[in-house]
């Protein structure tokens, strides 16, 4: 797809069920072993009532859509705003929905609404991304 072919309103999505393995791999990569993520007893006493998945692990799923689908290969992240609305638990199925909301032609920037929903259709992360899109890289 060329930059010119991208239209405001274009959408793409990606769905993944978050596993305990995903959580522990993220712990190892990020170094974040916060007991809210890895200690069931500790987490059960929190306001979440159990272990929660790292917000940044879930937000990282947005990268799949941007880099592989919309805009796709040739996408470079410039910025991302995120609001974490609800917790995600091991076993939750997350669907990332990305929608083009603006284009800056002279810089080949695409502005996208980025949202993550759980299996119940509840928005768990809301945000906006700005990317540079040039598939000629």
Residue 111's domain comprises 3-133
Rounded Cα–Cα distance for residues 37 and 84 (Å): 16
**For 49-73, how does the pLDDT look when each residue is reduced to its tens digit (9 = 90+)?**
999 999 999 999 999 999 999 999 9
Helical H segments across the chain, by residue range: 20-30, 35-38, 40-44, 55-60, 62-68
| pTM (two decimals) | 0.94
**For 89-113, how does the pLDDT look when each residue is reduced to its tens digit (9 = 90+)?**
999 999 999 999 999 999 999 999 9
In this structure, what CATH number is given to the domain that contains residue 108?
3.10.129.10
For β-strands 123-133 and 109-117, DSSP reports them as antiparallel
| Cα separation values, 134 from 14, 105, 113, 119, 137, Å | 22, 11, 19, 33, 6
Tally the domains of the chain. 1
Torsion of CA 25, 28, 82, 77, to 10 degrees: -90
Q: Give yes or no for residue 135 having a pLDDT over 90.
A: no
Q: Are 112 and 129 in contact (CB under 8 A)?
A: yes
């Amino acid at each position: 797809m060329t930059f010119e072919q991208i239209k405001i309103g274009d959408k793409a999505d990606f769905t993944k069920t978050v596993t305990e393995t995903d959580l522990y791999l993220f712990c190892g990569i990020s170094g974040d072993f916060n007991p809210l993520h890895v200690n069931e007893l500790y987490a059960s006493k929190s306001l979440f009532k159990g272990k929660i998945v790292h917000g940044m692990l879930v937000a990282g799923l947005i990268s799949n859509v941007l880099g592989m689908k919309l805009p796709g290969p040739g996408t470079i992240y410039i910025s991302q705003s995120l609001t974490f609305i609800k917790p995600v638990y091991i076993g939750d199925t997350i669907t990332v929905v990305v929608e083009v909301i603006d284009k800056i032609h002279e810089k080949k920037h695409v502005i996208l609404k980025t949202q993550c929903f759980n299996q119940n259709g509840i928005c768990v992360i809301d945000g906006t991304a700005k990317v540079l899109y040039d598939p000629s890289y």
